Amino acid sequence: MGGWAIAVHGGAGVDPNLPNERQEEAKQLLTRCLNLGISALRSSLSAIDVVELVVRELESDPLFNSGRGSALTEKGTVEMEASIMDGPGRRCGAVSGITTVKNPVSLARLVVEMVDNDFFITEDNIGMLKLAKEANSILFDYRIPTSGLESCAAVVEKPIQMNGLPISVYAPETVGCVVVDSQGRCAAATSTGGLMNKMVGRIGDSPLIGAGTYACDLCGVSCTGEGEAIIRGTLARDVAALMEYKELSLQEAVDYVIKRRLDDGKAGLIAVSSKGEVAYGFNSVGMFRGCATEDGFMEVGIWE
């Protein structure tokens, strides 16, 4: 036990008709991100730095639904959201409604740092921030990829639905990363473009601490799937609460939450514990994920 561990995800709920090339591309991206995280861990970067770094990579690649490649609102615009949490001290930051900032997860990280800024002299630190106007926006670099559209044209007898949309259109591929570094510190980060065709202003689970993201002394968790189900189930917090209050192990807590806290919802999550364990679980059809631990274990997968 002990040692570092890392897990990444690119969303729960995968179209079973997803063309092979896309499956391969996804696995390559996950592998690349894992390796990025692993070298950072070997260079002794702290857990929170590693999760930010890896999620930036996932945001910058148009393959999944975050940053470049985000899903569109009902008006055809983009509204991204992200959150990040540092286990020690449970410092956290989140943003929503982001339209021009290249890396929402880094903006969320800035919110965490602002907490210690003298501007806020009282202890009442900011847990979540929504920038309504990104006046000082960072370089805009967004293009809508067209490669995702071919699977939308496929006609399926009874298409698998998530959140009321056929899975080929649903675009559930929120991204996330959880890490425990060699000092046993856990961190988690999640980023997304949100629900395809969502109402303008809709906020999902990804920027909500306790729902899509959570980290404390015991573990780090990042969730993906049907946002509303994740919020109602306070999924990320519950993994930690089960470890804390019911003394379940990481895997037991993950299994419990997926089995019992989702009702009719479909979702998945990745988690690491301060002891260097890694775990994931999902009740959806597939979840893009990858994980690795210091003792050499490494795995990338999509299906069960």
Partner 1 sequence: MGWAIALHGGAGDIPRSMPPERREPREAALHHCLQIGVDAIKAGRSPLDVVELVVRELEDNPHFNAGKGSVLTSNGTVEMEACIMDGNRKKCGAVSGISTVKNAISVARLVMEKTPHIYLGFDGAEAFAREQGMETVDSSHFITPENIERLKQAKTANRVQSNRTVGCVVVDGYGNLAAATSTGGLVNKMVGRIGDTPIIGAGTYANSLCAVSATGKGEAIIRATVARDVAALMEYKGLSLKDAATYVIEECTPERTAGLIAVSATGEVTMPFNTVGMFRACATEDGDSEVAIWHDEPCD
> Which residues are tagged catalytic?
174
Q: Read out DSSP for 43-61?
A: TT--HHHHHHHHHHHHHHS
Task: Give the burial class of 303: count Cβ atoms within 10 A of its Cβ; 0-12 exposed, 13-18 middle, 19 or more buried.
Answer: exposed
| Minimum distance, C-beta of residue 143 to partner 1, in the bound complex (Å) | 24
DSSP 140: -
Q: Is 202 in the site for partner 1 (CB under 8 A)?
A: yes
Q: Is 123 in the site for partner 1 (CB under 8 A)?
A: yes
Question: Which value, to the nearest 10 degrees, does the dihedral of the CA atoms of residues 106, 109, 115, 118 take?
Answer: -50
Chain-centroid distance of CA 277 in Å reads: 18
Compute the C-alpha angle 87/93/96, nearest 5°: 140
* 259 CB-near residues (< 8 Å, 6+ apart): 283
Residue in 129, 169, 196, 285 binding partner 1, rule: CB under 8 A: 129
Q: Is 11 in the site for partner 1 (CB under 8 A)?
A: no
Q: Which is nearer to partner 1, 199 or 298 (CB)?
A: 199
Q: Which is nearer to partner 1, 96 or 274 (CB)?
A: 96
Q: Which is nearer to partner 1, 122 or 136 (CB)?
A: 122
Q: Which is nearer to partner 1, 32 or 90 (CB)?
A: 90
- Looking at the DSSP bridge assignments, the partners of residue 86 are 91, 187
Q: Which is nearer to partner 1, 15 or 86 (CB)?
A: 86
Q: Is 115 in the site for partner 1 (CB under 8 A)?
A: yes
Residue in 131, 188, 254, 262 binding partner 1, rule: CB under 8 A: 131
Q: Is 127 in the site for partner 1 (CB under 8 A)?
A: yes
- Interface characters, 231-260, with partner 1 (x: CB under 8 A): xxxx--xx--xx--xx--------------
| Minimum distance, C-beta of residue 218 to partner 1, in the bound complex (Å) | 14
Residue in 63, 84, 209, 219 binding partner 1, rule: CB under 8 A: 209
| Minimum distance, C-beta of residue 270 to partner 1, in the bound complex (Å) | 19
| Minimum distance, C-beta of residue 86 to partner 1, in the bound complex (Å) | 11
SS3 33: helix
Q: Report how many residues bind partner 1 under the rule CB under 8 A.
A: 49
Q: What are phi and psi of 230, to 5 degrees?
A: -70, -40
Residue in 21, 76, 132, 303 binding partner 1, rule: CB under 8 A: 132
* 59 CB-near residues (< 8 Å, 6+ apart): 66, 67, 68, 82, 102, 103, 104, 105, 175, 191
Run of H or E including 271? strand 267-273
**Separation of alpha carbons 222 and 175, rounded Å:** 9
Report the site for partner 1 in 30-59 (rule: CB under 8 A): none
Structure tokens at 34: 């894992």
- Report CA torsion sign: 69, 71, 75, 80: negative
Binding site for partner 1 (CB under 8 A): 90-92, 96-97, 115, 119-133, 163-164, 195, 198-204, 208-211, 214, 227-228, 231-234, 237-238, 241-242, 245-246, 263
